[in-house]
Amino acid sequence: MKKVVGFGDFLVRLSPPGYQRFIQCSQFDINYTGAEANVCVSLSMMGIETEFVTRLPDNDIAKAGLSMMRKYGVGVKHVAFGGNRMGVFYLEKGASQRPGKVIYDRQHTAIAESKPEDFDWDAIFDDASWLHLTGITPALSDTMPKVCIHAVQEAKKRGVRVSCDLNYRKNMWTQEQAKACMESIIPGIDIIIANEEDAEKVLGIRAAETDIISGKLSREGYVDVARQICEKYNIKEAAITLRRSISASDNGWGALLYSGGKAYFSKEYTIHIVDRVGGGDSFAAGLLYAKIKELAPQEAIEYAAAASCLKHSIELDFNLSTVEEVERLVRGDGSGRVQR
């Protein structure tokens, strides 16, 4: 089976223990993460060969992070080394009506200062079927859009399909910057992934009769958003996750896949959140798994939504759910009863 390549940032996550606030804590829990890295781990847990590509400083912190990727079966043999630092983000987990909070420290990192020639694209895409990247990676610096465009072009030259999660981060760049960059990347994309806000923030395409803050989401409005994305940018498929926010602790969760001019909706799950970071990445991984296994569109969106539903119950950023666990939930077993 051909591998999936994830290209993007790899950084350190520092979090107060449990649900403590920054001002309370005297220590941080450390973890390693990154949107594309999260996708690779999730796919690896599902039995798909993956290769994570990034640029890191040649030091023990970076090597510790890479050892965690190896632990979950992700290939890291094409990581480039250079530069002086890894990025960091600080996460304060939200609860009930108190939202979570993220503080970024991602400037002047090794990958933010990378160039296209830092990577051996021939070796990276050897025997690859998919390249996955997100809108976070080009937001890292003024030069990273060029690197991401180059990666997509190198993938397409070799017949590698490309998936992209828009993943807009307002703390990293403006809507205008995101739109200008992503519209230059989109022509090479086969399937685009967005959440309920990304299409509006990045592409200026808004769902009618929707209010994100109140949790009102219009199914018909998002079908129109997906249709517009596919038609405007000549993309084969678009997937949109639909998060109905009840509170920081409880969400309604579902998704739609627009494929072949038709919309397919997953069932909606009511989830009590343990850790929501990486939820979108687990959806992207589930969708890629479904595409690799050639599942029908309805089966694909059900699998992706269920995979992400389970991720919300797992601490830290990686979705460590197996195919069997995801399929059990798809079949309707969401009771959470102890498996003996």
DSSP code per residue over 254-265 = EEEEEETTEEEE
Examine residue 55 and state whether it is found in any structural domain, yes or no.
yes
pLDDT interval class at 209 (50, 70, 90) = low
- The pTM of this model reads 0.94
117 has a pLDDT exceeding 70: yes
Note the pLDDT tens digit of each residue in 119-155.
Answer: 999 999 999 999 999 999 999 999 999 999 999 999 9
Contact yes or no for 321/309 (Cβ under 8 A): no
pLDDT of residue 134: 96
338 falls within a domain = no
Count of structural domains within the chain: 1
Examine residue 335 and state whether it is found in any structural domain, yes or no: no
Q: Which pLDDT band, with edges at 50, 70 and 90, does 73 fall under?
A: very high
Residue 322: inside a domain: yes
Residue 340 counted as domain residue: no
Instruction: Looking at mean pLDDT, say which of 174-178, 204-208, 294-298 comes out highest.
Output: 294-298
Quote the CA–CA distance of 311 and 273 in Å, as a whole number.
Answer: 9
CA distance 35 to 254: 20
Q: What does the pLDDT look like over 220-263, one tens digit per residue?
A: 888 999 999 999 999 999 999 998 889 999 999 999 999 999 99
Plot region of 26 (φ>0 → left; ψ -120 to 50 → alpha; else → beta): alpha
Domain with 316 in it: what CATH number? 3.40.1190.20
Q: Let me know if residue 339 belongs to a domain.
A: no
Domain encompassing residue 68? 3-330
Task: Flag whether 337 is in a domain.
Answer: no
* CA dist., res. 74 & res. 47, Å (int): 10
Give the DSSP H/E element, type plus range, for residue 44. Answer: helix 35-45
